[in-house]
Structure 1
Amino acid sequence: MMVSRGEDVKKISVIVPAYNVEAFLEKCVTSIIQQTYNNLEIILIDDGSTDNTGVLCDQIAREDSRIVVLHKENGGLSDARNAGLDVCTGEYISFIDSDDYIEPDMYECMMEEMEDERVSLVAVGFIVTEADGRTRNMGAQLRKRLSKEEAFMNLFEEEEMFPSSVNKLYRRQLFENLRFKKGMINEDTEIIPKLLHICDTIVILNRAMYHYVLRKGSITQSEFAIRDYEGIVVYATAVEVCRLHYPEVLPYAAYYELSRIYETYVRLAKSENHHSFWKQEIILRFNIALKTVNCLKWKRIRNKYGRELQIYSVAVIIGYSSMYRLMMIKRENRG
């Protein structure tokens, strides 16, 4: 069903940062233009592209009056999104990455939930396309209507909320006093806990509607980069928000942070260039040790994640590689 523009149909501002994506931008914008909910303001931000992205933005804009183009110096994803937030006029806000695309009725489904004025945020699942073309769905099996506390628990435990900005529709008011931190790695993970805290009701739809595309040529799993290490600081935001406002959820926030730091350590340990990051490895192992001890003070975390906490403890004492070799030897002896 096509939802047409009119005085009683509220507008969605769709913010699309674009940097050197001339090969993907048209597919992305086409998926927005063809939405069944069509009262849209589509803001394309050319973030100082060095290819033909800026020219393509202007060409596309001439084909649809709903499209606005901003050209700016390169400032990164957060800065580009903030530029869109500063000029958008819609009652609702959405972010789309310029090399992704969305299902035709995504905004219509989201806006049906927004008819309830208590709903501040609506999230959908992802359709992930791997670099080899295979696809998989990620998201909730059932529609969920959550309080703030329940949304935090979902983020930490069920992981259907996803610490991502792009699969969600927001009421404009959420961004009145909030912006993405410029220059921050994993900026979505940093801002999502702040957004959840100022929401009323959150809805997660049991439909995968956002196409997240993994491209060939991205950093491979065999390589570790300093940005992987620097990106772990964002998980502390969720811990701090819960410490201040949701003490019942704090243990799960602390374990969430610990598990993500451990995942980063494992990526480093398994990487081909791990010798280049020996200082970062020492710091990661020290942080994991401290945060494991912290998590052990909560009985519910010990009961639920006792085995994982034991693994973390062994890994930081003898090192992940040594632990992995011992596990393989033990498995061979059993065989």
Structure 2
Amino acid sequence: MNNLISVIVPVYNGELFLERCLNSVLSQTYNNLEIIVVNDGSTDLSAKIIDRYSKSDRRIVAIHQQNKGVSSARNIGIRNSSGEFIGFVDGDDEILPDMYEFLLNNLLKYNADISHCGFELVKNDKLVKFHDTGVFLEQNKFQGLSEILSGQKVEPSTCNKLYKKAVLSNIKFPEDIKSNEDLLFNVEAFYKSEKTVFEDVVKYRYFHHSDSASRTSFTEKKAQDIYEVAARIKNLLTEDSIQKNCERFYISKLLTIIKSLKQNDLYNTEVSKKIRAEVAGIDTRKMGLRIYLTKLILVRFPFLYNFTRYIYDLFFIKNQKWKNHS
């Protein structure tokens, strides 16, 4: 294999983790890489670290811009990429040594447009979540989209994936949206693909940092952004073969927004009223008992929400203790 992979690394104030990230990319067993590091207006030492690395390895391309957000940084990277394939790595994460060799092997072997792998999540130096079941999925467009929408096996992140650049033509990260932008990008990419391949073996390592932009408190703006992403996905996926899954995804997403607004004392805000009004008009009787009851409580009888949470937590904790004891 001699195919060039463009790896896009957006960075904002990542001086504490950037060297670890770049070293993991530079140490890949597949070395025909173009590593585009986009400094998104960092105010710490990130710019100096990027420039130092770019001088020491010709594969690194340094781009500096004013702070415009991670979506803008990724879009700049795509526009400046030369590779036949594109991957993304966040500047505070790291990848296992053979990730791109692994992803490219699967992509070429099965003639796929997108190849993705498992991941693990590290929080406070402890492994708290991982996907490493060994499950293998070779899927057509609509099968892949169904997995993305369900969120059960397939991670909506862009970072554990390798894309044919041709699939990403005319697709951009939404720069007006700060939440769920990866999900929207992936739905559009999977929609343009003919085949995707997924092997659930850990090759990407996410790190959870308390000051990460993706983990800030829930706000009206965040609610509006998630709602906008869900609406754009709903408007894109209208074919009969995916519409049912899309409708279920849409109502589930809206209910999740309402629940988060409720938990953050934002239930009576304008965005909450707008979303609740839309949910009230959706027939959920054929979408399963969980969705039906969640809608009933969050929209019709919100005063029952805290009580039902208490009962659920009480049962869940008691059940977990029983399992641990047995």
TM over 0.5: yes
Q: Tell me, yes or no, if the aligned pair for 2:117 and 2:203 is still in contact at 8 Å.
A: yes
Q: CA separation of 1:317/1:83 partners in 2, compared to 1, >3 Å: closer, same or farther?
A: same
**The 10-residue stretch of structure 1 (281-290 or 80-89) with the greater mean CA deviation from structure 2:** 281-290
Q: How does 1:137-216 map to 2 (within 5 A)?
A: 137-138=130-131, 141-157=134-150, 159-185=152-178, 186-216=180-210
Q: Are the counterparts in 1 of residues 220 and 266 from structure 2 also a CA contact under 8 Å?
A: no
Is the counterpart of residue 57 in structure 1 residue 54 in structure 2? no
2:297 corresponds, among 291, 314, 330, to 314
1:294-333 matched pairs, under 5 angstroms = 295-296=284-285, 299=286, 301=287, 305-319=288-302, 321-325=303-307, 328=310
Shift of 1:117: 6.7
User: 2:254 aligns to what?
Assistant: 261
1:310 and 1:17, CA in 2 relative to 1: closer, same or farther beyond 3 A? same
With 77-86 and 112-121 compared, the bigger mean Cα shift is at 112-121
Q: 2:224 aligns with which of 214, 219, 230?
A: 230
5+ residue gaps, structure 1: 1-7
For the residues of structure 1 that align with 2:71 and 2:213, how far apart are their CA atoms? 21
Taking only aligned residues, the RMSD between alpha carbons, in angstroms, comes to 2.6
* Secondary structure class of the residue paired with 2:154: coil
Q: How much has 1:25 moved relative to structure 2?
A: 0.7
**Which residue identity is paired with 1:49?**
S
How far apart are residue 222 of structure 1 and its match? 9.9
Q: Is the 8 A contact 1:193 1:237 kept in 2?
A: no
Q: Structure 2: state its 5+ residue gaps.
A: 319-326
How far is 1:177 from its partner? 2.1
Distance 1:241 1:114 in 2: 25
Q: Deviations over 1:183-235 (max 9, x none)?
A: 22222122211111111110011212111111124589894223321222101
CA contact (8 A) 1:76 1:183 kept: no
Q: Tell me by how many angstroms 1:327 deviates.
A: 6.4
- How far has the Cα of 1:139 moved from its partner? 6.0
- Compute the displacement of 1:281 (Å): 2.7
TM-score scaled by structure 2? Answer: 0.88
Distance change (3 Å), C-alpha of 1:251 and 1:314: same
Give the deviation of 1:27 after TM superposition: 0.6
Aligned to 2:76, the other structure's residue is in SS state helix
Q: How many Å apart are 1:316 and its aligned residue?
A: 0.7
Report if the CA contact (8 A) 2:110-2:197 is conserved: no
Q: Following TM superposition, where does structure 1 have runs of at least 4 consecutive aligned residues deviating by more than 6 angstroms?
A: 219-222, 329-332
Deviation per CA, 1:32-77, whole angstroms, max 9, x where unpaired?
0001111100011111111111111001112211111011122111
- For residue 249 of structure 1, give the secondary structure of its aligned residue in structure 2: helix
Give the equivalent residue in structure 2 for 1:287. Answer: 278
| Distance in 1 of aligned mates of 2:229 and 2:83 | 29
Q: How far apart in 2 are the matches of 1:331 and 1:88?
A: 49
Tell me the TM-score normalised to structure 1 length.
Answer: 0.85
Task: Judge which range, 170-179 or 136-145, deviates more.
Answer: 136-145
CA distance in 2, matches of 1:331, 1:167: 33
> Conserved in 1, the CA contact under 8 Å of 2:141 and 2:194?
yes
Is the Cα–Cα contact under 8 Å of residues 71 and 174 in structure 2 kept in the other structure? yes
What is the aligned residue count? 314
Q: Kindly report which structure 2 residues correspond to 1:76-91, keeping only aligned pairs within 5 A, or say none.
A: 76-91=69-84
Q: Residue 155 of structure 2: SS of its match in structure 1?
A: coil
* In structure 1, C-alpha distance between the alignment counterparts of 2:201 and 2:177, rounded to whole Å: 30
Q: What is the deviation of 1:290?
A: 2.6
Percent identity, aligned pairs only, is 27
- Would the alpha carbon gap of residues 49 and 327 (structure 1) be closer, same or farther in structure 2, given more than 3 Å must change? closer
Using the alignment, how far apart are the partners of 2:187 and 2:67 within structure 1? 27
Q: Is the 8 A contact 2:141 2:191 kept in 1?
A: yes
Separation (CA, whole Å) in 2 of partners of 1:128 and 1:324:
30
Q: Distance in 1 between matches of 2:90 and 2:151?
A: 24
